[in-house]
């Protein structure tokens, strides 16, 4: 369920441009930015690119992954 909020027109227009380029809706783009921003504030020692990569990995379809098997010494 969504909640209507007021947002600055400058942020809205920036979200509109970026959302179109990244194939998101405007609300989803703003939610994405908010999620990254919250993670960055909660983890100031992590680079933004790392945070973005972690969020992408967290939401990736794991059914496409193949298990990695180590080859080497056996105990």
Query: Is residue 15 in some structural domain?
Result: yes
Q: For the segment 12-61, what is each residue's pLDDT rounded down to a tens digit?
A: 999 999 999 989 999 999 999 999 999 999 999 999 999 999 988 888 87
The answer to whether the beta carbons of residues 22 and 29 sit under 8 Å apart is: yes
At 75 the pLDDT is 56
At 34 the pLDDT is 95
Predicted TM-score (pTM) of this structure: 0.71
Residue 66, token pair as written in the block: 């193949």
Query: Is residue 54 in some structural domain?
Result: yes
Is 21 buried (19+), middle (13-18) or exposed (0-12) by CB count in 10 A?
exposed
Closest CA to 37 of 50, 23, 22, 48: 48
The answer to whether the beta carbons of residues 27 and 2 sit under 8 Å apart is: yes
Domain containing residue 18 = 9-60
Query: Is residue 42 in some structural domain?
Result: yes
């Amino acid at each position: 369920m969504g909640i209507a909020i007021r947002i600055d027109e400058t942020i809205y227009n920036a979200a509109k441009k970026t959302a179109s380029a990244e194939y998101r809706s405007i609300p989803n783009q703003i939610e994405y930015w908010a999620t990254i921003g919250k993670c960055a504030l909660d983890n100031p020692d992590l680079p933004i690119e790392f945070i973005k990569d972690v969020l992408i990995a967290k939401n990736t379809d794991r059914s496409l992954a193949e298990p990695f098997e180590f080859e080497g010494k056996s105990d």
